[in-house]
Each structure stands twice: as C-alpha cells, then as structure tokens.
C-alpha cells in the first residue's frame, strides 16, 4: 500500500465530500478507500477540462490520458477551424463510446458553434450523460444522445470529427490492470477481444460512412498495440494517418484523416 497516496486520497475525500469534518460516514468511506474503492466513486464526481463529471451510475472514470488528448489535440483543432465556423455552420462531432459523456460535454462547454452526438450502448451511461449535461447547465446546447452499438443506431450522417475512447485492454493483459479498476469498474468499458482491438477494428472498417471529406477519426488505444494497429491499417488500405503521444511521450492516439 502506498501510504503517501492513501493519505492524499483521504485528505481529498475529507475536503471534497465532507468539508473537512471527520464524520462517521467519512470514516466508513475511508475503510472503503483502504480496500481499493476508487476515490472518484466515493466523492461522486471528477473534474474534466473545466467541467464536473458526475459518476452516480458508475461509468468508466475519465482518465488523465483522455483529458490530455482532448485538450492538447482536439481543442486547438476546433479553435483553429475559423473558416468552417465563419460560414455559419456548426462543427459536427460524434463522441462514440461516450461513457460518462466527458469528451462531448467538455467540448459543448468550451465551444459554441459545434453540434455533438453521443453514441453509447449502456442504458445507465445514457442516464449519466443526461445528468452530466444537466449539472453543467448545457441543456440548451446542440446535442443528441443515441443508444447505439458502435455505429448501428447512429443516423446515417456525416461528421467533421469522430472521437472514440473504446474498450481496448486485452484480456490477456488483465494482470497489468490495477486491482481497484478490476474490482470496481465495469469490465465491459475496459476489455475487448482480439488483443483488445475488436472495437478499434470495427471503427476503422466503418468510419468512412460517417465522416465528411477531410474529417478526422481519433481513437485512444494502448501503446503496445501500435504495431498491431499498423498491420490492420495496411490491411484496410488506410494511408492518411498518424500517431500522437500522450503526456508521458507514449504513442496512444490514432488520427485518421478521411
């Protein structure tokens, strides 16, 4: 057990949830924390690029790596898209495998001339997305929410950006996953078949039906999967792509330009 981390987590729990008061409920939560219960679930929310993401329905907890690529790569792209915005159009974005909705909601909160569709299969996560839109006061922004198995229930329309953080952990690498994640987070949001690439491959096979010309598909993946992804891109004859690094200088994000 990392005692320094545990003390930091206990202090954060005390301040964030209990306003510094060591109540009976706080002490019960500390017991859970020491049994690897995720701090974010105990607090009930987590920050994500200027918004608060509620976690009542236990979606996958948003990761710093996801926050990094949205802020470092997607925010500048939208900010620099002045030609498109000047034509009084809305930038059309699909946040697929939405989970808590953190990606699309952060974009809606920070940009005006965009339209975001959320695609998510799990009913509880649909409720979570709706709640997070409400608590961040974004009900009047432009969005749709679709309960969809990847693209299956997404209407046939074209997007400028498709942003995907799918399940991508290989079941063969379960021993690399933290115990707190295995014990408390939804394995359906974590693991995928075929070396963790089953959903990524489906995205690559079908994205052309949903992207505008010069649109971009962005996918988060596990850095060790890069060579496998390269082989699949070659098989699918995808040529216009590049890999982007995370905050730890590991190539973790795939960008495909249509």
d(CA 223, CA 104): 24
Instruction: Characterise 178 by phi-psi region: left (phi > 0), alpha (psi -120 to 50), beta (else).
Output: beta
* Domain membership flag for residue 29: no
What is each CA distance from 124 to 50, 71, 104, 214, 217, in whole angstroms? Answer: 24, 26, 17, 34, 26
Residue-level pLDDT at 107: 97
The length of the chain, given as a count of residues: 258
The 10s digit of each residue's pLDDT in 23-45 is 999 999 999 999 999 999 999 99
d(CA 158, CA 209): 7
Q: Does the pLDDT value for residue 85 go beyond 80?
A: no
Strand partners, 60: none
d(CA 258, CA 255): 10
* Domain membership flag for residue 143: yes
Check if the beta carbon of residue 20 is closer than 8 Å to that of residue 14.
yes
Domain extent at residue 124: 61-257
d(CA 68, CA 96): 18
| pLDDT grade for 242, boundaries at 50, 70 and 90 | very high
Q: What are phi and psi of 51, to 5 degrees?
A: -130, 165
Residue-level pLDDT at 195: 97
* Domain membership flag for residue 53: no
The 10s digit of each residue's pLDDT in 98-154 is 999 999 999 999 998 899 999 999 999 999 999 999 999 999 989 999 999 999 999
* Domain membership flag for residue 1: no
Residue-level pLDDT at 2: 58
Which CATH number do you get for residue 192? Answer: 3.40.50.150
Nearest partner of 30 among 1, 9, 55, judged by Cα: 9
Residue-level pLDDT at 84: 52
| pLDDT grade for 90, boundaries at 50, 70 and 90 | confident
Q: Does the pLDDT value for residue 246 go beyond 70?
A: yes
> Per the structure, how many domains does the chain have?
1
The 10s digit of each residue's pLDDT in 186-238 is 999 999 999 999 999 999 999 999 999 999 999 999 999 999 999 999 999 99
* Domain membership flag for residue 245: yes
Check if the beta carbon of residue 46 is closer than 8 Å to that of residue 61.
yes
Tell me the CB-side half-sphere exposure of residue 66, using CA atoms within 13 A.
Answer: 22
Report, in angstroms and rounded to the nearest whole number, the Rg of the chain calculated over CA atoms. 19
CB burial of residue 209 (10 Å; 0-12, 13-18, 19+): exposed
| pLDDT grade for 87, boundaries at 50, 70 and 90 | low
Strand partners, 145: 118
Residue-level pLDDT at 81: 74
* Domain membership flag for residue 84: yes
């Amino acid at each position: 057990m990392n005692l320094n981390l545990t003390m930091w987590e206990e202090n954060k729990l005390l301040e964030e949830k209990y306003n510094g008061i060591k109540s009976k409920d706080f002490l019960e939560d500390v017991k859970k924390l020491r049994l690897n219960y995720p701090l974010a679930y105990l607090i009930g929310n987590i920050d994500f690029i200027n918004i608060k993401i509620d976690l009542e329905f236990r979606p996958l907890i948003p990761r710093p790596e996801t926050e990094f690529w949205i802020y470092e790569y997607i925010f500048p792209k939208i900010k620099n898209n002045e030609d498109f915005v000047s034509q009084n159009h809305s930038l059309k974005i699909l946040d697929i495998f939405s989970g808590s909705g953190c990606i699309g909601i952060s974009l809606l909160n920070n940009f005006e001339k965009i339209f975001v569709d959320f695609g998510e299969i799990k009913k509880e996560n649909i409720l979570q997305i709706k709640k997070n839109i409400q608590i961040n006061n974004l009900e009047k922004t432009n969005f749709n929410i679709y309960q969809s198995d990847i693209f299956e229930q997404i209407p046939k329309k074209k997007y400028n950006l498709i942003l995907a953080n799918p399940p991508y952990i290989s079941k063969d690498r379960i021993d690399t996953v933290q115990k707190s994640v295995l014990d408390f987070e939804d394995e359906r949001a974590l693991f995928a078949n075929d070396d963790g690439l089953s959903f990524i491959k489906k995205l690559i096979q079908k994205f052309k039906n949903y992207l505008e010309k010069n649109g971009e598909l962005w996918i988060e993946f596990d850095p060790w999967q890069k060579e496998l992804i390269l082989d699949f891109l070659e098989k699918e004859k995808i040529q216009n792509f590049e890999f982007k690094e995370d905050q730890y200088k590991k190539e973790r994000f795939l960008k495909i330009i249509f």
